[in-house]
Structure 1
Amino acid sequence: MKKLFLLILLLSFSGWLIAQKTSLFNGKTLEGWTIHGTEKWYVANGELVCESGPDKQYGYLSTNKHFKNFELSLSFLQEADGNSGVFFRSSIEGVKISGWQVEVAPPNRFTGGIYESYGRGWLVKPKADDEKWLKMGEWNNLKIRVENDHVTTWLNGHEMVSFKDDKIAAGKGFIALQIHDGGGIKVRWRDIQIEELK
């Protein structure tokens, strides 16, 4: 009887842990997100796609909800140039975004590094040897953990950067996907899941 009780308790706890991870993208619509700018954001074959528009400017797709401490996981596939990124604790006016970006870019352009938009610029870049973990033209898995002042990123299971910063600790705002300016850029996203941390 005691073993049965412990088993039920363990299963209940496991279910609670699973329930904490939620999907930010339903694979069908952009529900829960807001488009900023004239770049293209749409859903195709269950994937979220961002593509350069006629203005060839920056574009963002932000969550309607704000997130403070979290672990975010997603997959991305870069087509053409592909320069993009994932912003966190951010805010925006027009297409001028304030906050921090985890870079998503072609080889040797610091995917997994942290950049402060309209501020200090690059805060931390991955080591040159870690560029090998990026699979250009294939699906990549990116994980971002933001907890108080500490940000850690992983690419395809390998830690890229781990960084602490007082300014990040004070930040607040949404998560946003970015498409860079310049034209000819296309990035696909899927499996966007988040677990909020206390």
Structure 2
Amino acid sequence: MLRLLPLIALTGLLISAAPTKKVTLFNGKDLTGWKIYGTEKWYVDGGELICESGPDKQYGYLATEAPYKNFDLSLQFKQEANGNSGVFFRSSIEGTKISGWQVEVAPKDHDTGGIYESYGRGWLEQIPPEKETILKPGEWNTLRIRVEGDHVQTFLNKQPMVDMHDAKIGAANGSIALQIHDGGGIKVRWRKLVLKEI
């Protein structure tokens, strides 16, 4: 005899089977969905998103117009010149002052994949020396950032870098933002920025 599940149970099954929403943050053509902060250079070339120091040699940010709280973000970057940059999450920006948390993107031996809190506690998690060999200078690298509640995980070229919990992060919300560090001489290429909302 065939047993029929109650409607509530069926509804629960449908909800749990719903796919996560995938968002392509960069369309490969222009900066639709993003906002520039500061005077540094952000442009598209050959389907890639380029950030480059401008004549002011100051901090610059390119932030999503939409906020993202819980997500799994994957992107690729290639460092040219200095390559000191980063990916902020749950951030807010006024002028060129940013509040939030940065997943570091930097030259070798400078903690790429680590977590830094700007205008706050500073480094929350740095990278141990044995993991500094995971970065491929001058080549395409894949960075994955997963943030759910107070839990943050980062992966560089499929290798785990950070796995931490933080109550302050858990209480926050805000945009994704790419950074140009101050000092000049910086150029980084980005592509394949795909986010899955959790």
Q: What TM-score, normalized by structure 1, do the two folds share?
A: 0.90
Q: How does 1:1-198 map to 2 (within 5 A)?
A: 17=19, 20-197=21-198
User: 1: distance between equivalents of 2:115 and 2:53?
Assistant: 23
Superposed structure 1 runs of 4+ greater than 2 Å apart:
none
Q: Secondary structure of the residue that 2:57 maps to in structure 1?
A: coil
User: Any idea what SS the aligned residue of 2:133 has?
Assistant: helix
Secondary structure of the residue that 1:74 maps to in structure 2? strand
Spell out, residue by residue over 1:98-142, the C-alpha distance to the aligned partner (whole angstroms, 9 max, x if none): 000000000000000000000000000122111111000000000
Deviation of the 1:20 alpha carbon: 2.3
Provide the aligned length of Structure 1 versus Structure 2: 183
Structure 2 portions without partners, runs of 5+:
1-17
Deviation of 1:54 (Å): 0.6
CA RMSD of aligned residues (A): 1.4
Query: In 2, distance between residues paired with 1:38 and 1:54?
Result: 8
Q: 3-state SS of the aligned residue for 1:192?
A: strand
Identity %: 67
- Alpha-carbon distance between aligned partners in 1 of 2:78 and 2:182, rounded to the nearest angstrom: 18
The offset of 1:163, in angstroms, is: 0.7
Q: CA offsets per residue over residues 57-91 of structure 1, 9 Å max, x none?
A: 00000000000000000000000110000000000
Give distance in 1, aligned partners of 2:127 and 2:71: 21
How far does the alpha carbon of each residue in 1:21-65 deviate from its partner, in whole angstroms, 9 at most, with x for none? Answer: 221000000000000000000000000000000100000000000
Q: Distance in 2 between matches of 1:156 and 1:108?
A: 16
1:180 & 1:68 partners in 2: Cα distance?
A: 24
Structure with greater helix percent = 1
Q: Distance in 2 between matches of 1:81 and 1:184?
A: 6
Structure of larger gyration radius = 2
For the residues of structure 1 that align with 2:190 and 2:103, how far apart are their CA atoms?
15
